[in-house]
Amino acid sequence: MAAPHLHLLLVLSLALSLCLLPDTARAQLRQNYYASSCPRVESIVRGVVQNKIKQTFVTIPATLRLFFHDCFVQGCDASVIVASTATNKAEKDHSDNLSLAGDGFDTVIKAKAAVDATPGCRNKVSCADILAIATRDVIALSGGPSYPVELGRLDGLSSTAASVNGKLPQPTFTLNQLTAYVCCQRTHPNRHDCSLSGAHAWILSL
């Protein structure tokens, strides 16, 4: 059973990688964004991801799914990682996010800690960029393609469970329902949405 699942992952991860390609709406993103402030950030994150995958294969689908749930709500701003407080219920505690595997969060947390522990890098790299890099790395390390990730995302300043309502397509959606959802809910529906949704549906089938 593992081999067919891995083959599906490679196909879907190739499609998912499209969502990290340059977008005219995000012209501020660029490669080598941290060239002067934290030049080793990508190799540091990759090392953490490699170790996590050695510990558990769940790291791969968990990170992919975390990225999906983050990007579909308020953009790729890592707001899904923010913890709830006594006065605010955050995105991660919305019913649609309760099934997110802890290994995805753990990957980002450990990678962020490793980056901040590097001289000169402390508080320089956003969790949003770390999640984007980690997603590319789980794809590549599982046998999928490696591709450049444009960086420069800012971490979200707001994370509320209410913001998730109606934003995530459900895994039970038919193709027609998914198409209608993307056209109605997304300002600029495109192949990236379909790629993310396909990967998400496969991940939930594991």
What's the CA gap between 40 and 117, in Å, rounded?
A: 12
Indicate the helix (H) or strand (E) that contains 194. helix 191-204
Whether 113 and 94 have beta carbons less than 8 Å apart is answered as: no
Compute the residue count for the chain. 206
Structure tokens at 172: 């039970």
The tokens describing 162, both together, are: 């209410």
**Amino acid occupying residue 6:** L
CB 62 within 8 A of CB 103: yes
Nearby residues of 204 by Cβ (< 8 Å), 6 or more positions away: 65, 171
Dihedral of CA 58/62/65/71: which sign?
negative
Catalytic residue among 5, 7, 69, 192: 69
69 is catalytic: yes
| CA–CA distance, 78 with 81 (Å, rounded to integer) | 6
**190 vs 98: CA distance, rounded Å:** 27
Rg (CA), the chain: 16
Catalytic residue positions, numbered: 69
